[in-house]
Amino acid sequence: MHDGLMPNQKSFLPLNACESSEPASQNDSSCHEMTLWHVLIDQSQDGIVVLDSSGGVFESNKKFADMLGVSISELRQFSVWDWDAMFSREQLIDILDVVDASGMSLQSKHRRKDGSVFDVEMTITGTVYRGRKLIFSICRDISDRKQLERDLLEREERFRQLSIVDELTGLYNSRHFYDQLEMETNRTNRHQQPLSLILLDIDDFKQFNDRYGHLEGDLVLARLGKVLSSCVRREDLAFRYGGEEFTILLPGTNRDGSSVLAEKIRTAFQAEKFIVHGHPERSMTVSVGVAEYRFGEQMKSFVGRADQAMYRAKGQGKNCVCTEI
């Protein structure tokens, strides 16, 4: 990596047709040709740089030099790898070697003199001029277009997240749960690795809602979402299953390991304190069921066993963890 553009040791000056040793009539024709050449490239709205086969600058218009923040005389001291910030020197040499009259189009990143980088789209063509291979490159700054593309991708990702994330708790929603459950059970069947499911339900949540109102109930749901997020591992997936029910998928974890996490969640949530104006501080609890996947079983059966374990926890007085029988 260069800290801004670094000059090459060689200077590749353009051939000057007007200083040719050819007869006058031929020299006049060459001068006219060269003058027309400069007029055409200087009036281009795109940056144009002509390289020789070794990567040095044979000619350039001011537009291209301005894109890099240098003068044309400075630019002639550089080779293409001094400003290209995407391809390696070896890759650039290969491109210069293979490009011919049929040309090619590619995108890259160019580095300005101040070290900043911008996106560029190039059309390059190889030709032979007076026995010397030259590479004619038309360069267009597409930074604005690439930024629009990145913004669009970010918006699409946000919309995608909104479609699979529960807004209140910040956890994945039930729609995404079934997508992930299918993927994880398929993976488990292929690799014969453990997979467990935790299903939990907030105890007496309806009574809490009826007494304190839905806004306070939403705060309880949101707080449980934070507890789950803080307790699960990076590879675990936590979901708001529906209402006051939540699920956690634990890839690579057996029933015993999942039971440990379930107990950690239960005690962490019980430690949370809820203050409703005009009422004494109180705690909330959850009943938790744990099941381990049986290779080849249907997803409905797997979820059903975790659900049954959770209802046993309810039947045993709530605020506890039960595993499948």
Tens digits of per-residue pLDDT, 38-83? 666 777 889 999 999 999 999 899 999 999 999 999 999 999 999 9
The pLDDT of residue 21 is 45
With bands split at pLDDT 50, 70 and 90, how would you rate the model's confidence at 263? very high
Q: What pLDDT score was predicted for residue 39?
A: 65
- What integer pLDDT is reported at residue 17 of this predicted model? 43
For residue 42, the model assigns a pLDDT of: 75
pLDDT (tens digit per residue) in 118-144 = 999 999 999 998 889 999 999 999 999
For range 5-32, the mean pLDDT? 48
Structure confidence at residue 29 as a pLDDT band (50, 70, 90)? low
Band of pLDDT at residue 152, cut at 50, 70 and 90:
confident
What is the per-residue pLDDT for 9?
39
Q: Tell me how far apart the terminal alpha carbons of the chain are, to the nearest angstrom.
A: 61
pLDDT at 38: 66
Tokens of residue 320, six digits: 């506890």
In this prediction, residue 130 carries a pLDDT of 84
pLDDT at 25 over 80: no
State what percent of residues in the chain have pLDDT above 70.
86
> Is-catalytic flag, 22?
no
How distant, in Å, are the alpha carbons of 46, 82, 277 from that of 280?
72, 70, 8
| Structure confidence by residue, pLDDT tens digits, 215-227 | 999 999 999 999 9
Quick one: tokens of 316? 């045993």
C-beta of residue 244 within 8 angstroms of C-beta of residue 205:
yes
Instruction: Give the per-residue pLDDT at 45.
Output: 84
Among residues 154, 167, 184, 244, the one annotated as catalytic is 244
Phi, psi (deg, nearest 5) at residue 196? -125, 160
The pLDDT of 165-177, averaged and rounded, is: 93
Q: Strand (E) positions, the chain? A: 47-52, 57-60, 104-111, 117-129, 132-141, 195-202, 237-242, 245-251, 286-292, 321-323
Residues sharing a CB contact under 8 Å with residue 83, sequence separation 6 or more, in sequence order: 5, 68, 110, 111, 112
